[in-house]
Chains A and B, each alone.
Chain A
Amino acid sequence: MSDQTKQISEIIKRVKLELEIAKKSDEYALGQTHDIAASLNEKGCKVDKAQVRGLENLANTTGKISEITDWLKIHIGRDTKREKWSFNGIGHELLSALENLRTDAKQITKTLSQYVLDADFERQVHLQLCREFLQHISANFEYEQRNLENEKSKKRAEDAIAAGSVE
């Protein structure tokens, strides 16, 4: 294979990989990430914006999947009051969801098996999928949190108006 053909093949592989990851990412946006974000916003759960963003940032900067899962395990372990990552088993659910992304990574690797892939390819895809997944959780979490806050302030305003009209 000439150098030029190799380069073209590499570019096609990258484009296809991005396409596959984008497809999966769009699937995640509407599915489980939405449910996890909703659980994080449930009454009684004290996970805050900073922690969710922290996890998202960690995923975007690390090269290790294990660092993301370790972060979660440590936070689950520290949460003795069960009001943050241990609340209703959210942390456990997220951990297994991230682990399950390995199946998608395997599938993508299989789809691209006609190209030259290095030994670390599947792990890299898995990491990328974890990043996408956590990005959606963070976005859904903040969006829903804002909605809840808006609803609360709207209700407060309505209550204040009602109280004023009674007086």
Chain B
Amino acid sequence: MNTQSRNTEPILRVEHLKTYFPIKRGVFRRTVGYLKAVDDVSFEIRAGETLGLVGESGCGKTTTARSIIRLVEPTDGSIIFKGIDIRSLKESELRPLRRQMQIIFQDPYSSLNPRMNVLSIVGEGLRIHEKLSWSEIRERVASLLKEVGLSPNYINRYPHEFSGGQRQRIGIARALALNPEFIICDEPVSALDVSIQAQIINLLEDLQERHNLTYLFISHDLSVVEHISDRVAVMYLGKIVETAPSTELYRNPKHPYTIALLNAIPLPDPNRKREVVRLEGQVPSLTAIPSGCRFHPRCERKTSLCETELPPPVNVSLNHIVYCHHIT
């Protein structure tokens, strides 16, 4: 969105991030294996930019997001936010950084505490991080509500009094409360009605421009991701398979998975004839990850090399990186 900030230092650099969950069995809960939700993921986001992260359910996109703000503890790798490695920080040292990194969740029904009113939901961060009086907090919350398109009169209401779209606006106001620089949007429109999605997408775009925000935008919906992102990373089974500027990814996809994914999305165009590239089979389980390239059991380009060797990153053009042995 913001062209002048394109060339600046990355605000966030994720290097070789791994998040494994132990699988425990038996009476003594011995660890018998690991579920490798995120397995060696690296990317960077520049200030003012939106990076889209797409993939199907279980590919590790949400775990990646949660690892970045340490809502789940990463197993390995480094997360460098504005030059500081977040993984090496103690919880108390992490706190001041937390206000600069916020998250908007997918489900506006479960992400707001039903027993708290709007004032305490949106104002909680202010209460903890800033020494403000109640009347000052009330004032700030009222102006935040206005900013996200809600009436300040709603300040004493409870979540059940709002519709899904309005709740998502409350979640956005909460994320904005501490003037963060970086916001993770985890499927922020997936649970909303079609006519409400555009409201929220436009709101997120406006806020980004007004506050020079940096977004990590997670979604399974490629059309939404392409619309809002400057660059897109495609994930499959815990790994990134392709990253590219979003128009480039749409016009010139290189990884067979990206091609299949683009092909699978239904478009609002009855004249389109789908090409025959259809992805057969299903996403394998994360506990039984295929060897070599993880996509090889479903890939039409596969050779014996794919079964044994992890594909290295290949730079096809500026900022366009593909992990595949057989780029055509």
Bound pair: A and B?
no
Interface of B toward A, CB cutoff 8 Å: none
